Amino acid sequence: MRITRVMSAALACVALAVAGCGGDDEESKSAKKVDPGAADKATGNVNWCIGKDTTGTFSKAVKEFSSKGQVKAKLIELPEAADQQRTQLVQRLRAKSSECDVLGMDVIWTAEFAAQDWLQDVSDVVAKRKDDFIPSTLETAKYEDKYWALPYNTNAGFVYYRTDQVKQPPDNWEDVYSEAEKGDGLVYQGARYEGLTVNFLELLYSAGGKALSDDGKTVEIDSPEAVEVLKFMADGVEQGAVPKANSTYKEEESRRAFESGKATFMRNWPYAYSLGKDSKIADDFDITTFPKFGEGEGAGVLGGYDVAISAYSKNPEGAAAFAEFLTSPDWQRTIMTEASLPSTLTATYDDPAVQKAFPFAEKLRTAVEQAQPRPVTPVYPQVSEAIFKTVHAALQGDMPPEEATKTMKSEIEKALQTF
Amino acid sequence: MEAATVARSRKRGSGLSERRLAAAMVSPSLIVIALVAAYPIGYAIWLSLHEYSVRVPGLSRWSGLKNYDTALSSTEFWEAFRNTFLFTGISVAIELVLGVAFALAMHRAFKGRAVLRATVLVPWAVLTFGSGLLWRSIFEPDLGFANSMLSALGLPGGEVVWLGQQGYAMAVMIFADVWKTAPFMALLILAGLQVIPDELYDAAKVDGASAWQRFIRITLPLLRPAILVALLFRTLDALRVFDLPFALTRGANGTNTLSLYAYEELTANRLVGLGSALSVLTFLIVMVVSFMYIRFVGGNIRGLADER
Average pLDDT of chain B, as a whole number = 87
A33-155+303-372 and A158-301+379-416 have identical folds: yes
Q: Is A154 in a helix, a strand, or coil?
A: strand
Q: Please tell me the distance from the alpha carbon of residue B208 to that of residue B205, in angstroms, as a whole number.
A: 5
Tell me the chain B residues in contact with residue A90 when contact means C-beta distances shorter than 8 Å. 270
- In this prediction, residue A292 carries a pLDDT of 94
Non-local (6+) Cβ contacts of B253 within 8 A are A192, A247, A396, B163, B164, B165, B166, B168, B169
**Confidence band (pLDDT; 50, 70, 90) for A112?**
very high
pLDDT tens for each residue of B102-153 = 899 888 877 888 888 888 888 888 899 999 999 999 998 877 888 888 888 8
- In this prediction, residue A9 carries a pLDDT of 42
- In this prediction, residue A15 carries a pLDDT of 39
Helices (H), A271-360: 271-276, 316-326, 329-339, 352-357
Are A70 and A343 contacting, i.e. CB atoms less than 8 angstroms apart? no
B151 inside 8 A of chain A by CB? no
Quick check: A299 pLDDT over 60? yes
Question: Which stretch of A34-48, A156-170, A365-379, B93-107 has the lowest confidence by average pLDDT?
Answer: A34-48
Closest CA to B95 of B16, B169, B184, B14: B184
Q: Is B50 in a helix, a strand, or coil?
A: strand
Domain boundaries, chain A: 33-155+303-372, 158-301+379-416
Closest Cβ opposite residue A419 in set B34, B51, B251: B51
Residue A103: strand pairing partners: A49, A308
Per-residue pLDDT, averaged over A128-147, amounts to: 94
B50 inside 8 A of chain A by CB? yes
Per-residue pLDDT, averaged over A294-308, amounts to: 94
The conformational region for residue B250 under phi > 0 = left, psi -120 to 50 = alpha, else beta, is left
Quick check: A23 pLDDT over 80? no
Q: Which residue of A has its CA nearest to B43?
A: A11
Contact check, Cβ <8 Å, B39/A10: yes
A25 inside 8 A of chain B by CB? yes
- In this prediction, residue A42 carries a pLDDT of 84
pLDDT tens for each residue of A60-85 = 999 999 998 889 999 999 999 888 99
Per-residue pLDDT, averaged over B32-44, amounts to: 91
- Give how far B184 is from chain A: nearest CA, Å: 31
Q: In this structure, are strands A186-187 and A150-155 parallel, antiparallel, or unpaired? A: unpaired
- In this prediction, residue A153 carries a pLDDT of 95
Distances from the Cα of A151 to the Cαs of A110, A189, A204, A345, B202, in angstroms? 11, 25, 24, 9, 80
Chain A neighbours among B 80-139 (CB < 8 Å)? none
- In this prediction, residue A46 carries a pLDDT of 95
Q: Please tell me the distance from the alpha carbon of residue B122 to that of residue B119, in angstroms, as a whole number.
A: 5
**Confidence band (pLDDT; 50, 70, 90) for A5?**
very low
Tell me the chain A residues in contact with residue B53 when contact means C-beta distances shorter than 8 Å. 419
pLDDT tens for each residue of B207-250 = 998 989 999 899 988 998 899 889 989 999 999 999 999 999 99
- In this prediction, residue A11 carries a pLDDT of 41
| Cα first-last separation, chain A | 37
Q: Is B308 in a helix, a strand, or coil?
A: coil
Q: Please tell me the distance from the alpha carbon of residue B223 to that of residue B301, in angstroms, as a whole number.
A: 11
Query: Which residues in A209-220 are b (16+ Cβ under 10 Å) and which e?
Result: bbbbeeebeebb
Q: Is B127 in a helix, a strand, or coil?
A: coil
Question: Which stretch of A95-109, A397-411, B151-165, B200-214 has the lowest confidence by average pLDDT?
Answer: B151-165
Per-residue pLDDT, averaged over A17-25, amounts to: 37
Helices (H), A140-270: 173-182, 194-206, 224-238, 251-259
Average pLDDT of chain A, as a whole number = 90
Q: In this structure, are strands A186-187 and A265-268 parallel, antiparallel, or unpaired? A: parallel
Contact check, Cβ <8 Å, B61/A21: no
- In this prediction, residue B301 carries a pLDDT of 52
A158-301+379-416: which CATH topology?
A: D-Maltodextrin-Binding Protein; domain 2 (3.40.190)
Closest CA to A361 of A158, A150, A171: A158
- In this prediction, residue B158 carries a pLDDT of 79
Quick check: B298 pLDDT over 80? no
DSSP class of B265? I
Helices (H), B108-219: 113-120, 122-125, 128-138, 145-152, 168-194, 198-206, 211-214
* Superfamily covering domain B74-126+179-307: MetI-like (1.10.3720.10)
**3-state SS string for A20-84:** HHHHHHHHCCCCCECCCCHHHHCCEEEEEEECCCCCCHHHHHHHHHHHHCCEEEEEEECCCCHHH
Q: How many C-beta neighbours within 10 Å does residue B301 have? A: 14
Q: What is the CATH number of domain A33-155+303-372?
A: 3.40.190.10
What angle, 0 to 180 degrees and rounded to 10, lies between the N-to-C axes of helices A224-238 and A194-206? 120
Which ipTM value was assigned to this complex?
A: 0.78
Are B143 and A256 contacting, i.e. CB atoms less than 8 angstroms apart? yes
- In this prediction, residue B274 carries a pLDDT of 94
- In this prediction, residue B299 carries a pLDDT of 55
